[in-house]
């Protein structure tokens, strides 16, 4: 059942409150799935509260729009995804990893007048109900005590201009820039510097002969008095800060078992020969080892430094029976086949001496089934002191071998679900690996404290520089809010990176993560550069949406990847076309955010030209090629050159971004990166033909092409440059 509670009259957050309820359901847990702040992958971030009588509730704050959702119900080991029985509206969704379209309920939030309205410029009419501003970080973002980004939303094509009017000793008026438009709304933004700590402001909106003032009390036709202005106390509020080093980083992701074998004495039994192709079997691929370890990474730090890498993200390194180690056995021990505490300390020390940061993978939502607490429960059952560390569906709690789940030797199909809630959620009904991913009850105080101390321990003990958080959608948001406080107290410049594949706004409000793995960026560049399935304007709109939805601080530190251990190799998606790969990297290295390289991409590692899924992830996790004669040196040198250019010019790292040319016909995309030091224009030709590009220039006479060692002069306020097919230029204004 859905109940629209309306907008609150006071407070920073003025979004519409919506209550979801499910009645008469006897279950261990119920989660709301698909809504903002969750995921279609089995999710635990939005747990519904139980009243003890079979009724479940949760309240969310939402903007106008359409929201597909389902209830994921755990009936003590029997998992179901239920549509809302009291909501007749339905649609279909294709959840990631879950295959075919799935039916779900549909929630429509918002006033019908707003949802159906169509704006028309200069008609002298403004849709008041569509105007929105609040003082959450999405619309009022203090970058410091003196610098602020302010945003407002209007109906699409409804106003001709918007000004921010604010009082800072004197009254100032600043024209706001339209930064993004979706199907219904336009979004405006400005960035101001102030000296006052108590800022008073309002918005002036115009369309034709119509003028409105939007203030704390709503829309007014006459200018309100100062008491009706919005007020924000900059001294009282905590500023969202992310590490400067992360904004300037070039990341390199390593899957330790496959990167380099530096110590053969710690190889697991049955280690395969380096260079053999991993099996594509979803069962066997997790239990085959190639001997990569931390010593091997230490040996290759010079290689990474030569490439220009300044930060390494390691997938899990703690004790575990699998090669990927997402099923942790001991959070306080480095896996013996990777090394030990001293090896990790040596890696961090030598990396730091080379100017390279290290972040580890934190799997805080579940443990492996050999974890001490779960073993204690299997031994003592209901009497175990750890019985509340997990969500136990039924007793007795048995081990996977007792039902024939003994990977890699035997796995029944379908496999019975484990007696505890698994990270795989509804997939637990058939997937044997559910037994290996026992979901923590992180809201249990003892469990929560254990995990918090793990996060603190490795920062204190080994000096790591942050955490990549695995599957945050599996855990309530309150856990991440507390984890941030604990981590930042130990190391204020620690980087907290979330693995979020969907709109990550709920995790990026300044109190959870610094940034996320930017899979939505990856999807956009694949569609444009690798598949040629979208045009330039669509690419630009998708990127603009990301910049609008996330705070600038997060955008600047965003982990911009084109591949990872969970995806196809990018060169495979390009079907081996090196030109497509290179123009993508050119864009990645000149766009806002921190570029991330998946190990081996820089030398042309690939696999069969197929899409990688859960059933064949091993293909994307091949062993790193160290024989230089097998490297694509052209690609390596290209990466190295672009990283060097990026590191030499701060404008390419933290400068502003403005699109200049969006030419769908010729597939030309040009944009400006600018800061106090430099102005750089990047031009990309994603066409299969050479083109001459003409760029309007109001300021500047000569531009130097940093990529192609050329120089161009401005004539008649136009810069004309030839760009060959699937190539580009990086133009520095002299």
Q: Which residues are catalytic?
A: 470, 499
Relative to beta strand 594-598, strand 49-50 is unpaired
Percent helix, strand, coil in the chain, to 5, is 25, 30, 45
Task: Give the contacts of 15 (CB within 8 A, at least 6 positions apart).
Answer: 7, 61, 62, 63, 134
Task: Give the contacts of 665 (CB within 8 A, at least 6 positions apart).
Answer: none
DSSP H or E stretch at residue 668: strand 668-674
Q: Answer yes or no: are the C-beta atoms of 71 and 30 closer than 8 Å.
A: yes
- Cα angle value 638/656/520 (rounded, 5°): 65
List the structure tokens of 182. Answer: 């979706």
Beta carbons within 10 angstroms of residue 254's beta carbon:
26
Distance separating alpha carbons of residues 289 and 15, to the nearest angstrom: 50
List the structure tokens of 23. Answer: 């009645």
| Residue 445 burial (10 A CB sphere; 0-12, 13-18, 19+) | exposed
Q: Answer yes or no: are the C-beta atoms of 229 and 203 closer than 8 Å.
A: no
For residue 396, whether the previous peptide bond is cis, meaning omega lies within 30 degrees of 0, is yes
Distance separating alpha carbons of residues 7 and 17, to the nearest angstrom: 6
Relative to beta strand 495-498, strand 515-516 is parallel
Across the beta sheet with 594-598, what order do the strands follow? Answer: 515-516, 495-498, 466-469, 357-362, 311-314, 251-254, 594-598, 559-561
| CA neighbor of 309 nearest in space, from 252, 370, 376, 256 | 252
Length of the chain: 734
| CA neighbor of 234 nearest in space, from 270, 269, 193 | 193
For the chain, report the end-to-end CA distance as a whole number of angstroms. Answer: 62
DSSP H or E stretch at residue 572: helix 570-573
**Whose structure tokens read 């003409």?**
694
């Amino acid at each position: 059942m859905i109940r629209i509670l309306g907008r609150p009259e006071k407070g920073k957050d003025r979004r519409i409150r919506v209550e979801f309820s499910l009645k008469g359901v006897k279950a261990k847990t119920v989660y709301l799935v698909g809504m903002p702040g969750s995921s279609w992958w089995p999710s635990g971030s939005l747990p519904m509260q139980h009243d003890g009588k079979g009724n479940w509730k949760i309240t969310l704050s939402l903007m106008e729009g359409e929201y597909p959702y389902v209830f994921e119900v755990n009936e003590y080991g029997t998992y179901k995804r239920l549509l809302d029985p009291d909501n007749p509206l339905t649609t279909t969704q294709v959840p990631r990893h879950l295959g075919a379209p799935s039916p779900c309920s549909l929630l429509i939030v918002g006033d019908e007048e707003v949802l159906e309205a169509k704006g028309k410029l200069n008609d002298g009419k403004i849709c008041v109900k569509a105007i929105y501003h609040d003082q959450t970080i999405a619309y009022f973002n203090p970058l410091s005590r003196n610098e602020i980004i302010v945003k407002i939303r209007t109906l699409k094509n409804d106003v001709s201009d918007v000004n921010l009017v604010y009082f800072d000793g004197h009254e100032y008026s600043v024209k706001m820039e339209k930064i993004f438009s979706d199907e219904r709304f336009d979004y405006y933004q400005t960035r101001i510097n102030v000296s006052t700590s108590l800022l008073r402001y309002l918005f002036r909106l115009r369309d034709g002969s119509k003028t409105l003032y939007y203030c704390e009390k709503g829309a007014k036709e006459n200018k309100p008095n100062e008491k009706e202005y919005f007020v924000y106390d900059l001294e009282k509020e905590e500023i969202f800060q992310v590490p400067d080093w992360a904004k300037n980083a070039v990341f390199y992701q390593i899957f330790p078992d496959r990167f380099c074998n530096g110590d053969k004495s710690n190889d697991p039994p049955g280690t395969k020969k380096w260079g053999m192709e991993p099996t594509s079997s979803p069962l066997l691929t997790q239990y085959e080892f190639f001997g990569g370890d931390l010593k091997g990474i230490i040996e290759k730090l010079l290689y990474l430094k030569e490439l220009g890498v300044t930060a390494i993200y390691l997938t899990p390194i703690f004790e575990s029976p699998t090669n990927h180690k997402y099923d942790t056995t001991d959070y306080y021990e480095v896996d013996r086949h990777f090394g030990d505490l001293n090896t990790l300390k040596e890696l961090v020390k030598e990396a730091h001496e080379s100017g390279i940061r290290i972040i580890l993978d934190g799997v805080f939502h579940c443990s492996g089934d050999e974890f001490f607490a779960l073993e204690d429960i299997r031994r003592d059952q209901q009497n175990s002191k750890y019985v509340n560390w997990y969500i136990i569906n039924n007793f007795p709690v048995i081990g996977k071998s007792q039902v024939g789940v003994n990977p890699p030797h035997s796995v029944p199909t379908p496999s019975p679900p484990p007696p505890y809630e698994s990270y795989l959620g509804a997939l637990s009904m058939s997937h044997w690996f559910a037994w290996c991913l026992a979901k923590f009850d992180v809201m249990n105080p003892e469990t929560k404290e254990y995990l918090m101390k793990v996060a603190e321990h490795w920062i204190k003990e080994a000096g790591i520089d942050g955490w990549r958080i695995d599957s945050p959608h599996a855990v309530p948001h309150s856990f991440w809010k507390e984890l941030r406080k604990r981590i930042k107290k130990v190391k204020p410049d620690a980087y907290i990176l979330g693995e979020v594949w969907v709109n990550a706004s709920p995790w990026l409000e300044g109190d959870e993560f610094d940034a996320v793995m930017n899979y939505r960026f990856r999807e956009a560049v694949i569609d444009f550069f690798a598949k040629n399935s979208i045009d330039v304007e669509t690419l630009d709109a998708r990127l603009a949406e990301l910049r609008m939805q996330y705070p600038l601080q997060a955008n600047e530190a965003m982990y911009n990847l084109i591949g990872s251990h969970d995806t196809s190799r990018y060169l495979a998606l390009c079907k081996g076309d090196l030109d497509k790969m290179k123009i993508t990297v050119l864009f990645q290295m000149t766009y806002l955010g921190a570029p991330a390289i998946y190990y081996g991409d820089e030398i042309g590692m690939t696999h069969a030209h197929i899409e990688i899924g859960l059933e064949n992830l091993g293909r994307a996790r091949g062993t790193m090629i160290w024989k230089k004669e097998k490297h694509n040196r052209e690609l390596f040198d290209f990466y190295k050159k672009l990283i060097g250019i990026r590191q030499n010019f701060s404008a390419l790292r933290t400068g502003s971004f403005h699109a200049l040319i969006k030419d769908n016909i010729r597939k030309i995309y040009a944009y400006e990166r600018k800061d106090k030091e430099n102005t750089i224009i990047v031009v990309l030709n994603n066409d299969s033909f050479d083109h001459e590009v003409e760029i309007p220039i109001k300021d500047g006479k000569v531009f130097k092409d940093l990529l192609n060692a050329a120089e161009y002069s401005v004539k008649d306020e136009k810069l004309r440059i030839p760009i060959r097919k699937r190539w580009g230029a990086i133009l520095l204004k002299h």
